[in-house]
């Protein structure tokens, strides 16, 4: 199986987890990575800067109508849902919160699954609610590959445990194992329909 994109979701403890997953990825990592990290609406945006300083990839806050580029890392802005459009561009929405969150992990995961189908890798990290479980379920149903952070290594284990309980996870891995797995999966070649 060859893959076209990675989606990641995190909540409480997510910044540290994201740094640990992104830092080992090579500068030439070929897949785009789209990320939802729960954060407060008025929070000053230091996340892109912080992640950019701790990895070799191009990290930026997502913009509406932006084309998704290979190897780019796109963060959902505070208070906006991040979605993938059928033409593989990004969209932002201020629709109602999902699982008490905007941005919502489920919204990103489900829209990306519709577009990338079996070419999508979904990664669910530390967090304190069930956001992401429904999204991983859709990714798995459409033939994609799903990963949850090992709850024993999560700052808050509720989010990965929710997905594991629902049997929507292909692999349960520590943060260092997630980075290694993503690198291996990306080396299988880039999926292009």
The two tokens of residue 158 are: 């509720």
Q: Does 111 participate in catalysis according to the annotation? A: no
Residue 193 has pLDDT above 60, yes or no: no
User: What are the residues whose beta carbons fall under 8 Å from the beta carbon of 186, sequence distance 6 or more?
Assistant: 3, 29, 30, 31
Q: Is the pLDDT of residue 188 over 80?
A: no
- Measured between alpha carbons, how far is 64 from 93 in angstroms, rounded to an integer? 9
Residue 40 has pLDDT above 90, yes or no: no
User: Which residues have CB under 8 Å from 49's CB, separation 6+?
Assistant: none
Report the alpha-carbon distance of residue 8 to residue 105 in Å, rounded.
Answer: 8
> Which one of 11, 104, 111, 186 is the catalytic residue?
11
Q: What is the reported pLDDT for 192?
A: 43
**Residue 11 appears among annotated catalytic residues:** yes
Query: pLDDT tens across 72-95, in order?
Result: 999 999 889 999 999 999 999 888
What's the mean pLDDT in 95-105? Answer: 85
More confident residue, 182 or 42: 182
CB contact set of 83 (below 8 Å; sequence gap of 6+): 90, 91, 92, 93, 107, 108, 111, 112
d(CA 117, CA 143): 6
* Cα–Cα distance measured from residue 80 to residue 40, given in angstroms and rounded to the nearest whole number: 11
| Between residues 88 and 193, the one the model is more confident about | 88
Half-sphere exposure of 15 (CA within 13 A, CB side): 11
Count of beta carbons in the 10 Å neighbourhood of residue 182:
25
Q: Which domains, ranges and CATH numbers included, belong to the chain?
A: 5-186 (3.40.50.180)
pLDDT tens, position by position, 105-117: 999 999 999 999 9
Please tell me the predicted confidence (pLDDT) of residue 95.
Answer: 84
Distance of alpha carbon 177 from alpha carbon 183, whole angstroms: 10
What's the pTM value of the predicted model, to 2 decimals? 0.93
Name the active-site residue from 106, 131, 157, 186. 131
Residue 2 in this model has a pLDDT that exceeds 90: no
Determine the pLDDT at residue 48: 83
Calculate mean pLDDT across residues 16-25.
Answer: 96
């Amino acid at each position: 199986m060859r893959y076209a994109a990675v989606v990641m979701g995190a909540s409480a403890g997510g910044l540290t987890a994201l740094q640990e997953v992104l830092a080992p990825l090579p500068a030439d990592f070929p897949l785009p990575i789209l990320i939802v990290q729960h954060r407060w609406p008025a929070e000053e945006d230091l996340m892109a800067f912080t992640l950019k300083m701790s990895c070799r990839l191009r990290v930026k806050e997502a913009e509406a109508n932006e084309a998704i580029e290979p190897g780019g890392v796109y963060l959902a802005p505070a208070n906006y849902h991040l979605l993938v459009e059928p033409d593989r561009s990004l969209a932002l929405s201020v629709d109602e919160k999902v699982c008490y969150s905007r941005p919502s992990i489920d919204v990103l995961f489900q829209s990306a699954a519709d577009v990338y189908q079996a070419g999508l890798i979904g990664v669910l990290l530390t967090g304190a609610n069930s956001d992401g479980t429904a999204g991983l379920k859709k990714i798995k149903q459409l033939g994609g590959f799903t990963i949850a952070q090992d709850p024993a290594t999560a700052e808050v284990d509720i989010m990965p445990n929710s997905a594991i309980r629902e049997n929507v996870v292909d692999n349960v891995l520590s943060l260092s194992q997630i980075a290694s797995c993503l690198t291996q999966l990306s080396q299988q070649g880039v999926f292009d329909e």
